[in-house]
Amino acid sequence: MNRLATNGHSGASEAVTEPRPASGFTPASKGMDIARPDLARRRQRLRIFWGLATVVAASALTFFLARLEKAIPSVDASTLWTNSVERGGMVRQVRGNGVLVPEQIQWVQAETGGIVENLFVQPGAEVAADTAILQLGNQELQQQSFDADWAARASQAQLEKLKVSLESDRLAQESQLVTLRADAHQAVLEFHANEVLAHDGLVPGLELERTKAKAEDLASRVTIEEKRLRFAVDSSRSQLAVQEAEVEKLRALFALRRRQVDNLTVRAGIAGVLTQLGDLQTLQRGQRVTPSAILAKVVVPSRLKAEIRIAETQARDIARGQNVEIDTRNGVVPGQVLRIDPAVQNGTVLVEVKLTGPLPRGSRPDLSVEGTIELERLENVLNVGRPVVGQPESTVGLFKLTQGGRRAVRVPVHFGRSSVSRIEILGGLEPGDIIILNDLSRYDGQDALKID
């Protein structure tokens, strides 16, 4: 074995050589590790470097993203509906849909029940007041009319008989009273004669008293008979009044039955157009109808009015006499508010409109129309086209166009009074500003929009 030694004094070196194995393998090939501390330190420095680099990069990216502007959604300009703010006059109006209705309607009802025997006219025909529309049949009613006629005749005959009987009794009593008055007068004369004779002593006193008593008795009987005659006359009047009332009652019953029979021939009642036969279903021959059933409807087509329904939130300023325009789709007819229904039905208020102009051709009852009511005229007010979300007396956020229409920003707008298509602006906008009228509620979380 050779050795290499180092002499510290002379600086010479001595090498010591280990003998090599015969196979040629070194000690490393036998699985022994050689320590490399410099390599571990290098790897640790690299890890620290890349960690610091990552932290710096993440910080820089975060700072950069924080400085970027929030993404703005884009809106297609062709889908937007815009309008410019103006200052000037504004007409306040409300609008509603409705129909034309006749001013005069004649509902023809059945006075009595019956069976439809014949139909003379059909709906759509022009009729006069006495035009027969249909014929009803009722055999029982006709029999009742016949019986009422004979009962009235019999009652009239009984009245005539009673008159004769009462007149005969009155004449008999008057004849008896006349005879009694003559007897009383004769008794008075006899008494006076006996009174003269008795004064001369020619008639005894007893005879004088007898004639006096007879005269007084007959005078009393005359008085009583006169009272009986007056009572009989009054009684005759009462009996005649009772019988006459019975006659009038039977005559009225006969007249009622006669009228009911006549009304089996149903007539129009007014001049106009027959628009309906029956109520829910059209009447047919052989059909039975009940009393008070609706048989027909007749209207005067030349006298129509409009009934418009206005939303209850818009009807508070409507007043009688306001001007109205009724659009019949074939022309516009002027009118005036005639009546406002005090009740609300299904969220609307019914407004009746009197038409003051001629109706266009083709106008008829139940024709659908649109009515526009003029509430008032405002002068020198800031106004704009009414947005979809704009309600009177409210503050909403609307998008206003900026940068020549390439961008829209949200601004709070205070609205005042409104009309059908325009609304008053009390604050938030200036003349010349252009706003978007569409419903952009899907962008409620955005303060700006990009217009493409």
Please name every residue paired with 296 in a beta bridge, in sequence order, or none if there are none. Answer: 108, 277
Asked if the model's pLDDT at residue 54 lies above 90, the reply is no
List the one residue out of 106, 98, 122, 130 whose CA is nearest residue 303. Answer: 106
Q: For the segment 20-39, what is each residue's pLDDT rounded down to a tens digit?
A: 444 444 444 444 555 566 66
129 and 274 fall within a common domain: yes
Percent pLDDT > 70 in the chain is: 89
Asked if the model's pLDDT at residue 329 lies above 70, the reply is yes
**How many structural domains are present in the chain?**
4
Domain-ending residue, one of 234, 262, 290: 262
Phi then psi for 41, rounded to 5 degrees? -65, -35
pLDDT (mean) for 278-286: 87
Confidence category of residue 66, pLDDT binned at 50, 70, 90: low
Asked if the model's pLDDT at residue 15 lies above 60, the reply is no
190 and 257 fall within a common domain: yes
Are 97 and 122 spatial neighbours (Cβ–Cβ below 8 Å)? no
Confidence category of residue 5, pLDDT binned at 50, 70, 90: very low
- 16 versus 122: the higher-pLDDT residue is 122
The rounded mean pLDDT for the chain is: 84
Asked if the model's pLDDT at residue 121 lies above 50, the reply is yes
- 233 versus 49: the higher-pLDDT residue is 233
179 and 245 fall within a common domain: yes
**Res 446: pLDDT:** 86
pLDDT (mean) for 160-181: 87
Q: For the segment 248-263, what is each residue's pLDDT rounded down to a tens digit?
A: 999 999 999 999 999 9
289 and 246 fall within a common domain: no
Q: Is residue 66 part of a domain?
A: no
322 and 270 fall within a common domain: no
Are 137 and 264 spatial neighbours (Cβ–Cβ below 8 Å)? yes
Q: Is residue 401 part of a domain?
A: yes
Confidence category of residue 70, pLDDT binned at 50, 70, 90: low
pLDDT (mean) for 320-347: 93
Asked if the model's pLDDT at residue 64 lies above 80, the reply is no
Asked if the model's pLDDT at residue 333 lies above 90, the reply is yes
Q: Is residue 109 part of a domain?
A: no
What torsion, rounded to 10 degrees, do the Cα atoms 402, 406, 412, 415 define?
Answer: 90
**Res 22: pLDDT:** 43
Asked if the model's pLDDT at residue 312 lies above 50, the reply is yes
176 and 255 fall within a common domain: yes
Q: Is residue 256 part of a domain?
A: yes
Asked if the model's pLDDT at residue 381 lies above 50, the reply is yes
**Res 35: pLDDT:** 57
Domain-ending residue, one of 377, 397, 414: 377
**Res 31: pLDDT:** 46
List the one residue out of 299, 297, 295, 249 whose CA is nearest residue 112. Answer: 295
Q: Is residue 31 part of a domain?
A: no
**Res 200: pLDDT:** 73
**Res 17: pLDDT:** 40
Confidence category of residue 217, pLDDT binned at 50, 70, 90: confident
pLDDT (mean) for 390-416: 90
294 and 308 fall within a common domain: no
Residue 405 belongs to domain with CATH number: 2.40.420
- Residue carrying the six token digits 């909403």: 396
**Res 337: pLDDT:** 95
Asked if the model's pLDDT at residue 94 lies above 50, the reply is yes
Q: Is residue 49 part of a domain?
A: no
Residue 314 belongs to domain with CATH number: 2.40.30.170
Domain-ending residue, one of 360, 377, 394: 377
- 5 versus 28: the higher-pLDDT residue is 28
Asked if the model's pLDDT at residue 61 lies above 90, the reply is no
128 and 163 fall within a common domain: no
Asked if the model's pLDDT at residue 284 lies above 70, the reply is yes
**Res 389: pLDDT:** 83
**Res 67: pLDDT:** 54
Please tell me the least confidently modeled range out of 43-47, 269-273, 426-430, 436-440: 43-47
Asked if the model's pLDDT at residue 180 lies above 50, the reply is yes
**Res 124: pLDDT:** 87
Percent pLDDT > 90 in the chain is: 46
Confidence category of residue 175, pLDDT binned at 50, 70, 90: confident
List the one residue out of 385, 348, 310, 364 whose CA is nearest residue 84. Answer: 385
143 and 251 fall within a common domain: yes
Helix orientation angle between 205-262 and 139-200, rounded to the nearest 10 degrees: 170
The vertex-158 CA angle with 154 and 163, nearest 5°, equals 150
268 and 133 fall within a common domain: yes
Pairing state between β 395-402 and 407-418: antiparallel
364 and 286 fall within a common domain: no
pLDDT (mean) for 6-32: 41
**Rounded alpha-carbon distances, angstroms, from residue 62 to 48, 71, 72, 133:** 21, 16, 20, 92
Q: For the segment 419-441, what is each residue's pLDDT rounded down to a tens digit?
A: 888 999 999 999 999 999 988 88
**Res 55: pLDDT:** 79
269 and 253 fall within a common domain: no
Give residue 166's domain range: 139-262
Q: Is residue 42 part of a domain?
A: no
Q: For the segment 291-304, what is each residue's pLDDT rounded down to a tens digit?
A: 999 999 998 888 89
Q: Is residue 181 part of a domain?
A: yes
Query: Which helix (H) or strand (E) is 175 found in, with range?
Result: helix 139-200
